[in-house]
Amino acid sequence: MRGMVATELGLCLLLLWCGFSRGRVGLRVYLSSWAVRVPGGVQEAQRVARKHGLLYMGQVIEGGDYYHLEHRGVKQQSLIPHWGWHVCLKKEPTVHWFEQQTLKRRSRRTVAAVPTDPWFQKQWYMNNDVTPDLNVLAAWSRGYTGSGVVVSVLDDGIEKDHPDLAVNYDPLASYDFNDNDPDPQPRYDVWDQNRHGTRCAGEVAAAANNGICGAGIAYRAKIGGVRMLDGPVTDIVEARSLSLRPQHIDIYSASWGPEDDGKTVDGPGTLSLEAFYNGIVNGRGGLGSLFVWASGNGGHRYDNCNCDGYTNSIYTLSVGSTTESGRVPWYNEACASTLTATYSSGGKGEKQIVTTDLRRRCTSEHTGSSASAPLVAGMIALALEANPALTWRDMQHLVMRASKPAHLQASDWAVNGAGRKVSHHYGYGLLDAGDLVDLAKKWTPTRPQQKCSINVIHKPLAIGSRLSVSANASTCHGEKADILSLEHVQVQLSLSYSRRGDLAISLTSPMGTKSTLVDVRPYDTSRNGYKDWSFMSTHYWDEDPRGTWTLLLENKGDAYNTGFLTHFVLKLYGTDEDMSARRAAAWVVSECVRRDADGTCQECTSPFYAFHHLCLSYCPPRYYNHSRRSRDPSAPSRTVQTCAACHFSCYTCRGGTANNCTACPPFSAYDEPTRSCSQPIRTYLPHGGNLFHGPQGLLLLIAVIVLCGGPVLLGVLCLTHRLWHLRGPWQKRPDPALGSEAAILELVRCNHISSEEQRKELGQRLLP
Ligand SMILES: *[C@@H]1O[C@H](CO)[C@@H](O)[C@H](O)[C@H]1NC(C)=O
Ligand SMILES: *[C@@H]1O[C@H](CO)[C@@H](O)[C@H](O)[C@H]1NC(C)=O
Ligand SMILES: *[C@@H]1O[C@H](CO)[C@@H](O)[C@H](O)[C@H]1NC(C)=O
């Protein structure tokens, strides 16, 4: 028996080899894809697939006998048929018919790329119904469907047994932090309130060609869900969600945040900040986790996503929305931190997003900025498949470059100093998946991030009706202070003001680009001003920072408004490379010549280096180029070029030890003589302790209770409950069409404390 299996395997291998050496005889383009007819049913088809190392891709026509199998590890397209598998499948008695899929060259875009799913024709933003659409068909036609990439949707759960999600469902990318168990299944109720995560997940990775619903953008990516919004949200819950398996999950998609009520100024707590830092420094083997964020649904309340510390973080890729006709949707929040935009719902009569729905259904009514972020998560999954060596910053560079103003309408389009059009509604415009994967294949890594902080004012300045403050960035003293091209720019401010929402703040770069950091927010009547709040702008990307920056504060309300600016730090991030001089050249990614049994590439053609399962013309950060002897027994003297891992303390290096570093990761300092990196030092640690936290806090609490008794106890409990709860009902960003009121969970009212007191406490608590 064993002998027979061995001979059979040997024969198959021989034929596989024969298949490769038959030469280029055919005119057809063969794909790594097979159609088989197995009347024995799904399980038999899956068994056959497993036996021959093929991937089972599902049923071709619902209820039929045809199944889609794929082989991995071999070229996506080939001019010769695969005789090896041909013979292997022919020997299977339960396989009645099979055919390797081919392309007709002239029509291959459409033939190969268009999924057969019944709802695909409704997916107007992907199927070319609008011009331009997200150009996903182009990315698919180049062979990118998200294989090998893992995405997790942080939301109210995921229906893991939804027939259109089940094949891509990844339990390792999932968790339930509301109930503390590994099962992220949503909680069902009569209103289907917890359908949001399942809808977002389908946009990313609903399976294709299985006869169910439509197709996800990365329809072969692995998809997981974290259930974290269906219950009290704490800093711990957020941080655990954002840091779930950062070596396994590549992309985190989040469509939630502080309430989009036009008056909140709030952001991540200590632990969530730590989770972001940990993600970008250590996630994905040190290349950095990718966090995609919905910009917010508070447009109709004049909210500004720069008052939301999640979307305005430099570590998140923040996504705005546009309607079918290219207009600003009524819910869209404008702000300078938005990088890109995708389609979503609009007003009455405009189309919405088509995806999977709770209770194994499909929907064509997914809406809001919530729907835009997962589309970007799917598109960057395609880019990551094209080039898995991209860092979190590379991806932001690419997304910026692959976004197009197209026909998107806004009154504020302006050309920045790098010659690109940018708007507060859409960032750099509509993301194009075809361009994104093409750029990914040609992108060489950005050099290490440089940071430079300028502490601009040294004594409080009266704001009055207008205050303009200039900073000379030529005097910038950063860790290296060698920024030739900008990436993110942050303005950290502390100020007092009689009515916060009346103050409009803008920043103008030396190259003359003016970006609005926050505009008038009529609902924001707070008297607390801003306390070390960091505004962020992406509008200066690739500009030269040298010269004079001007911050402008303007009173747009009552003439009696007053306040003082007490703190202004300008933080510039970028690189010491002149990015405008970059010319995208040849492809930096190429096919592997020889792999080991796990699919890890063993050999590349010169001048490429083996990296994971493919070949790169460079080694990314965290790796160095390394020559070693070939492990191929037939050619032991040959040398093989590979990317070998740096010591974990280095960002870039020339060898594998801790004193071969050439640059350090963020928050770590370089020591020139020893060529090593220090332990990470974080200077961010925020704003003192919170009320009644830690052992002293507990003692104080007990003392207060003992001394003051009942009413105070009640007051304190009520206050802490309110504080705790406020962290809690983070608003999902769903369904603005249903009225956002429905989604805002009513806060617990506390009658023992005057609203003025509450505001004071909250001001201290919430402004990091
Ligand atoms: C900015 O600083 C540089 C270096 O100190 C100086 O040469 C330059 O004149 C300054 N520019 C302005 C506008 O003050
Ligand atoms: C590795 O890359 C560096 C910089 O790109 C280059 O100077 C060096 O010669 C390369 N080493 C090998 C072994 O290819
Ligand atoms: C790496 O560090 C070792 C010492 O640990 C040193 O001998 C070697 O020359 C270094 N390699 C490079 C390429 O700098």
51-65, 388-402, 429-443, 754-768: least confident range: 754-768
Q: Determine the pLDDT at residue 646.
A: 97
* In-domain check, residue 612: yes
pLDDT above 90: residue 436 = yes
Confidence at 723, pLDDT banded by 50, 70, 90: very low
Rounded mean pLDDT, 586-603: 88
Rounded-to-integer distance, Cα 313 and Cα 274, Å: 12
CA of 625 to the centre of ligand 2 (A): 6
Q: By residue range, what is the domain housing residue 33? A: 2-103
| CATH number of the domain where residue 58 is located | 3.30.70.80
Q: Determine the pLDDT at residue 495.
A: 97
Q: Which atom from ligand 1 is nearest to the alpha carbon of 473?
A: 1
Give me the DSSP letters along 345-414.
--STTS--EEEEETTTEEEEEE-SHHHHHHHHHHHHHHHHHH-TT--HHHHHHHHHHTEE-TT---TT-E
Whether residue 211 is found in the same domain as residue 292: yes
Mark which of 422, 442, 462 sits at the end of a domain: 442
Per cent of the chain over pLDDT 90 is 62
Rounded mean pLDDT, 391-395: 98
Catalytic site includes residue 649:
no
Helix (H, G, I), strand (E, B) or coil at 152: strand
pLDDT tens-digit readout, 150-180: 999 999 999 999 999 999 999 999 999 999 9
Ligand 3 pocket, mutate which of 624, 659, 672, 674 (most atoms under 8 A from CB): 659
Q: Are 404 and 432 in contact (CB under 8 A)?
A: yes
| CATH number of the domain where residue 551 is located | 2.60.120.260
pLDDT tens-digit readout, 547-556: 999 999 999 9
* In-domain check, residue 115: no
Ligand 1 pocket, mutate which of 474, 477, 509, 550 (most atoms under 8 A from CB): 474
Number of domains in the chain: 5
Whether residue 412 is found in the same domain as residue 551: no
Whether residue 98 is found in the same domain as residue 124: no
CA of 605 to the centre of ligand 2 (A): 16
Catalytic site includes residue 580:
no
Looking at this protein, which amino acid is placed at residue 116? Answer: T
Determine which residue's CA is closest to atom 14 belonging to ligand 1: 472
For the whole model, what pTM was predicted?
A: 0.78
Q: Is 625 in the pocket of ligand 2 (CB under 6 A)?
A: yes
* Burial class for 686, CB neighbours closer than 10 Å (0-12, 13-18, 19+): middle
Whether residue 153 is found in the same domain as residue 213: yes
Rounded mean pLDDT, 741-763: 30
Q: Determine the pLDDT at residue 27.
A: 54
Whether residue 288 is found in the same domain as residue 330: yes
Ligand 1 pocket, mutate which of 452, 475, 508 (most atoms under 8 A from CB): 475
Mark which of 616, 642, 677 sits at the end of a domain: 677
Residue 704: how many CB atoms within 10 A of its CB? 15
Rounded-to-integer distance, Cα 589 and Cα 443, Å: 9
Q: Determine the pLDDT at residue 500.
A: 96
Give the number of whichever ligand sits closest to the CA of residue 548.
1
Rounded mean pLDDT, 35-43: 85
pLDDT above 50: residue 487 = yes
Rounded mean pLDDT, 198-224: 97
* In-domain check, residue 483: yes
* In-domain check, residue 611: yes
Catalytic site includes residue 155:
yes
5-14, 32-41, 557-566: least confident range: 5-14
pLDDT tens-digit readout, 669-706: 999 999 999 988 765 444 333 333 333 334 444 444 44
* In-domain check, residue 687: no
Rounded-to-integer distance, Cα 204 and Cα 186, Å: 18
Residue in 68, 162, 196, 488 annotated catalytic: 196
Rounded-to-integer distance, Cα 282 and Cα 288, Å: 6
Whether residue 611 is found in the same domain as residue 729: no
Q: Determine the pLDDT at residue 594.
A: 86
Cα angle 282, 372, 516 (rounded to 5 degrees) comes to 80
Confidence at 16, pLDDT banded by 50, 70, 90: very low
